[in-house]
Chain A
């Protein structure tokens, strides 16, 4: 269990209340989320998995305020939210760095946009660049970074605005297998150190088990979503018997072996 989850003073609790969303495809409404309700504790790590088309990315975009729900509410720390908010930060599959800014300027970008003076923003950015291990690359251009490094910069940029809630949309999906494992360890450490609520959309079931307190399984065929607790001690051992059993169970839900 995470120590953060028990504290009442922690901010970053998220409630989904009767969320529904449908897209229109060839004139036909195509429901992707049906009346979804869920409470996410402050400081919890929740993974959302499911086949493509199940609405997991749509759900994350609604949490980010980048997309509106057809009905229902997203409530953060007791307040219903609409649109983007300073208490949330998004990390995308692509790092989405601004190519004309250096690493330092990219990481400070989120704060500067919020009206923080450049020198203050860059001081705070430096702390998070150190956290993701890129202090030697502060003045590098994004084009000079590897995929894993660029994604770390994106993570540092999100952390620099000190969000209560970190929304991750398949953040490691574009990385090679080795980098991906390293970055999973990194995310686990960052989540532990930064006391944030983490909501992670992934198609990698092992990643979900490795990082999450609970896994929300969405389906594309209208089956109701399932919420599966991951009661494994941290740091987690991918090869431990319980981990493997958990993975087998979760894969079984998708007909995989």
Chain B
């Protein structure tokens, strides 16, 4: 995944505003065309609706699932797993990254083992986590946490290390001590890089959530995708997939909003 893929936040048009309709079509025209093609291919019988149900059937299944409460439990448990793991990854990754980015000896000591951990697929380690932590919630949250930690950690380290030394020197020449340099220069300068990591981590969390739920769960959106397929409830399967996509977009949108509030100085 490239960072550009993440950068899909809506941006205000620069310069003269284009007419609203044209601007809207320029931005979302392809998505609308894609969805229309999907709907038509089902209703016109180009692809068997049993394999690719038309959108209205999928939305119908989604609505039934939510209205009847059947999917609500799955959404709640999935959000809890991903949320806990993401919160843990941020709570550890950001402070550790800030520390490692500033203290070369700490970074030198920790880097090899972190690289080893990072290059080991979290899913390959899932059986190990199950052995250690049992089949319950802990191992699921932990495997998501494991994979989610690294993007935030590495982005934070990178952010701290690329802080302009000239700005640090400027602050020092005005008498700023270590704490002030950290609080007033290094931390704010690292925020944009940290957000790149947070957005990658959020994506990773949802990715691992599905994988973990497909392998060893009896609840959750990922479980529903597999379960619906086994039972040949194809509209429900697509409804669960759609739900995941929605969650991913929502998580990204929240982070983009937060970034805009915190980094007004760096935008446009």
Contact = CB atoms under 8 A, between A and B. Distances in A.
Chain A interface, DSSP helix/strand/loop, else mixed: loop
Contact of B184 (A85, A90, A113): A113
Interface in A128-176: 141-143, 161
A109 interface: yes
B166 A109 contact: no
A99 B192 CA distance: 12
A113 B174 contact: yes
Contact of A98 (B167, B172, B175): B167
A84 B263 contact: no
Nearest to B181: A113
Nearest to A142: B265
Contact of B265 (A86, A89, A99, A109): A99
Contacts of A89: 173-174
Nearest to B164: A96
A28 to B, nearest CB: 26
B266 interface: yes
Nearest to B266: A99
Contacts of B191: 100
Nearest to B268: A143
Contacts of B188: 98, 100
B170 A96 contact: yes
A84 B175 contact: yes
Greatest chain B CB density within 10 A among A89, A109, A113 is at: A113
A96 B173 CA distance: 12
Given A113-B176, A114-B175, A96 B184 contact: no
A96 B167 contact: yes
Given A99-B265, A141-B265, A114 B174 contact: yes
Given A84-B173, A98-B188, A113-B171, A92 B166 contact: yes
Interface residues of A, number: 23
B172 A100 contact: no
A94 interface: yes
A1 interface: no
Contacts of B263: 100
B173 A86 contact: no
A86 B166 contact: no
Interface string A38-70: 000000000000000000000000001110000
B174 A143 contact: no
Contacts of A114: 174-175
What is the size category of the interface that chain B forms with chain A?
20 to 34
A8 B175 CA distance: 28
Interface string B137-175: 000000000000000000000000000001101111111
Contact of A100 (B171, B174, B189): B189
A22 B264 CA distance: 44
Contacts of B265: 99-101, 141-143
A96 B263 CA distance: 18
A109 to B, nearest CB: 7
A27 to B, nearest CB: 24
B266 A109 contact: no
Given A110-B174, A113-B184, A66 B169 contact: yes
Contacts of A161: 174
Nearest to B263: A100
B8 interface: no
A92 B175 contact: no
B122 interface: no
B173 A64 contact: yes
A100 B175 contact: no
A110 to B, nearest CB: 4
A113 B171 CA distance: 8
Interface in B2-31: none
Given A86-B175, A99-B265, A92 B170 contact: yes
Task: Name the residue among B170, B173, B264 with the largest chain A CB count within 10 angstroms.
Answer: B173
B180 interface: yes
B174 A109 contact: yes
Interface of A: 64-66, 84-86, 89-90, 92, 94, 96, 98-101, 109-110, 113-114, 141-143, 161
Interface of B: 166-167, 169-176, 180, 184-185, 188-189, 191, 263-266
8 contacts: A66-B172, A89-B173, A89-B174, A92-B166, A96-B170, A98-B167, A100-B189, A114-B174
Nearest 5 pairs of A and B residues by beta carbon: A110-B174, A96-B170, A100-B265, A113-B176, A100-B188
